[in-house]
Amino acid sequence: MKHDDQDVAFLKTLTVLLVENDNDAREQLSYLLQHHVGKVIDAENGVIGLEEFRAQHPHMVITDIRMPEMDGLTMTEEIRKINSYVPVLLTTSYERSDYMMRSIDIGIDKYIVKPIDTDQLISALLECTHFIQFEEQRRKTEEQLHEFNSELEERVHQRTIELASINKELETFCNYISHDLRAPIARLEGFGKILMECALNADYRPILHIAERVVFVSREMKKVTDNMLIMTRLSQNRATMDWVNVSELAQNIMANLLKEAGTRIIKVKITPDLVVRGNQQMVGICLQNILDNAVKFSANTFETAIELGEVDDSGKKVFYVKDNGAGFDEKFGATLFLPSVVQNKISAQTTSGFGLKIAQRIIEWHGGRIWAIGSPGDGATFFFTFGEG
């Protein structure tokens, strides 16, 4: 009988469990099978056959019905509890109706009547290879489907996180616009009305002072719009990375802040050669906001001291900015990085404007984090990292 070459080749890769209590019949059948399958496992009764099945997980089972200790049908019932798909071929010289009915209920795949005809046996085995190939394909498809579903769930989960983050950014952005732009715009409107009154009354003495205030407010608005641009770039993930000299940036920032501070006594200590990998413009704005916060909240100190340095935390760089200013109550520590419009409702001591929120967002974009310690009247220290930089 001519058989499909692919089926014949596939059969030679399979392992078959042969369970037969008659030694001569088992040896003859085992010898025959070895020429057609990859491996034959012999067992002399159902108990041993079940043990071998559990241990070696064969692809097919050939079993007799009547055997001592455990018959073939009982063994098959137990095998079906372990693997309901494995093909089972029943060899028997009996045609009793009770055996046949029970074998049907169990789900025997093929019946081979003794004495066994070689062509009949091989044909039955090859037909069972179709079951095995189908089951392998079904299992593979099921695994792929499970993997796809898991991947889809992960994508949905990540997308949900991204959407939540975008919504949070949008809310933050709206708060930013309504809070940090409304005040300077209102001031400019007020200065404009004063100028109109001065022009009507021909009183030009306040004009110089008003012009100075307009310039100052315009600078504030410029800072706000610059920060808005940075927030937009952060949300769109567009920025170039390079090595940034944090010490040089901080020195330039503090030089400008000292000019704006006028006659205040401010002692600055900056550790030299502090570097980090990041986006220079973003790192600069981050430092600007943190250092500006330190200067602002030490305004009532007779001699302000501000320090920028670095500590090692298990091999990781941790930068810090320390001041001797107003400090804060640590029970409000979680609110330090909220927009000031929210902070004002919690405690006047925690008001730090929108700058720290921008700093936190930039640091998180770089894969780092920021936190602070302090106490009222004893200053504050802000610690921050920039990812692996």
What's the whole-number average pLDDT of the chain? 82
Q: What is the pLDDT of residue 369?
A: 92
Give 338 or 108, the one with higher predicted confidence. Answer: 108
Tokens of 294: 């330190």
Q: What is the pLDDT of residue 303?
A: 92
Task: Among 100-114, 171-185, 201-215, 216-230, name the one with the lowest average pLDDT.
Answer: 171-185
User: What pLDDT, in 10s, does the model give residues 129-179?
Assistant: 888 888 888 888 888 888 888 888 888 888 888 777 667 766 666 665 656
Characterize the bridge pairing of strands 110-113 and 88-92. Answer: parallel
pLDDT class of 344 with cuts at 50, 70, 90: very low
Q: What is the pLDDT of residue 316?
A: 87
Q: For residue 320, what is the enclosing H or E element?
A: strand 316-323
pLDDT class of 247 with cuts at 50, 70, 90: very high
Helix (H, G, I), strand (E, B) or coil at 215: helix
Global pTM exceeds 0.75: no
Q: What is the DSSP letter of 321?
A: E
What is the CATH number assigned to the segment(s) 5-116? 3.40.50.2300
Phi, then psi, of 108 in degrees rounded to 5: -65, 135
Tell the residue number behind the tokens 């990998």, with chain if given: 277
Q: What is the pLDDT of residue 389?
A: 46
Q: What is the pLDDT of residue 4?
A: 75
Partners of residue 114 on adjacent β-strands: none
Residue 227 predicted with pLDDT over 80: no
Q: Three-state SS across 48-95? A: HHHHHHHHHCCCEEEEECCCCCCCHHHHHHHHHHHCCCCCEEEEECCC
Residue ranges covered by each domain of the chain: 5-116, 161-236, 242-384
57: alpha, beta or left? (left if phi > 0; alpha if psi -120 to 50): left
Q: For residue 256, what is the enclosing H or E element?
A: helix 246-261
Tokens of 352: 């730090």
Q: What is the pLDDT of residue 134?
A: 81
Residue 204 predicted with pLDDT over 60: yes
Q: What is the pLDDT of residue 62?
A: 92
Tokens of 29: 């059948």
How far is C-alpha 267 from the chain's CA centre? 44
Omega of the bond leading into 115 within 30 degrees of 0 (cis):
yes
Partners of residue 277 on adjacent β-strands: 243
CATH 3.30.450.20 applies to domain 242-384? no
Q: What is the pLDDT of residue 341?
A: 39
